């Protein structure tokens, strides 16, 4: 486990990111982290630090631009989610990746991508739109990838699958009523048809949001196993020895 440091970085006048890294000079592989719909809260700052302790430079772009919602404020969080545009989020992700890859302690030329809930959808999209810079992607219960109809009005993402290059790890909970088995099937069919490398895992008795220990939906067993799978997947993609 590495000694770490963490801080806010100003990437440009309109975008900041939470950044955590090992204190030794490295260079270390980097991971771009996409948030849930609640903002860059304490959970995500600690998640970045957890990745740093595992040897990664973790960067979390503040795509909510300073807004943070309590986990009980579902209406506020989803209301903010509805205002996001995919092109803008991907542009901010591209800025974030370019910025972190310029840092002397970071080893390029590619990064890992990790996202949760809303951020799982953005991780899936980034695998396609930032394909030249992505070595591995992990998406926890990414909602809105291939729904029958997205309640937030977001476009489905399966049309981007052919652009993907990096292997995907997709993690879901069997008790997640917002992402159905039929949606799992559509995602798997699209990736298999396009001959992409992916793993799709469903955890029994796990609801949506099972990874965050700040949420009532937290499930310790699936969260720990999902974390171990995440580190193994990122490690393979970025050439990190387990």
Q: CA 70, CA 17: separation in Å to the nearest integer? A: 19
E-strand ranges in the chain read 4-12, 15-22, 28-34, 57-61, 106-116, 134-140, 168-173, 198-203
User: What's the distance, CA 61 to chain centroid?
Assistant: 11
Q: Assess whether 176 carries a catalytic annotation.
A: yes
**How far does the chain reach from its first CA to its final CA, in angstroms?**
12
Q: Are 37 and 78 in contact (CB under 8 A)?
A: yes
Residue 42, phi then psi, degrees to nearest 5: -60, -35
Q: Are 51 and 31 in contact (CB under 8 A)?
A: yes
- Residue 39 tokens, joined: 């903002």
Ordered DSSP codes for 214-233 = TSTT--HHHHHHHHHHHHHH
Catalytic residue among 28, 117, 160, 184: 117
Catalytic residue among 28, 57, 62, 176: 176
Q: CA 55, CA 31: separation in Å to the nearest integer? A: 10
- Residue 79 tokens, joined: 């209301």
Pairing of strands 28-34, 57-61: parallel
Catalytic residue among 43, 184, 208, 233: 208
Q: Assess whether 62 carries a catalytic annotation.
A: no
Residue 12, phi then psi, degrees to nearest 5: -160, 180
Which among 104, 103, 100 is positioned nearest to 113, based on CA atoms? 100
Active site residues: 117, 176, 208
């Amino acid at each position: 486990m590495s000694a770490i440091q963490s801080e806010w970085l100003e990437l440009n006048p309109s975008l900041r990111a939470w950044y955590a890294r090992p204190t030794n000079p490295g260079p270390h592989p980097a991971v771009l982290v996409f948030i849930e719909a609640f903002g860059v809260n304490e959970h995500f700052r600690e998640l970045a630090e957890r990745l740093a302790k595992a040897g990664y430079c973790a960067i979390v772009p503040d795509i909510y631009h300073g807004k943070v919602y309590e986990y009980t404020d579902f209406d506020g969080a989803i209301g903010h989610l509805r205002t996001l545009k995919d092109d803008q989020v991907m542009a901010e992700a591209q800025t974030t990746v370019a910025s972190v890859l310029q840092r002397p302690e970071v080893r390029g030329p590619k990064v890992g991508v990790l996202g949760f809930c809303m951020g799982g959808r953005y991780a899936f999209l980034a695998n396609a739109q930032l394909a030249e810079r992505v070595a591995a992607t992990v998406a926890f219960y990414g909602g809105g990838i291939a729904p029958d109809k997205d309640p937030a009005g977001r476009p489905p993402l399966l049309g981007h699958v052919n652009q993907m290059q990096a292997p995907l790890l997709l993690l879901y909970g069997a008790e997640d009523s917002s992402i159905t088995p039929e949606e799992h099937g559509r995602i798997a069919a699209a990736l298999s048809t396009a001959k992409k490398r992916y793993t799709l895992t469903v955890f029994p008795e796990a609801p949506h949001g099972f990874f965050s220990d700040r949420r009532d939906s937290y499930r310790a067993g699936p969260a720990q196993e999902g974390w171990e799978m995440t580190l193994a997947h990122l490690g393979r993609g970025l050439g990190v020895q387990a």
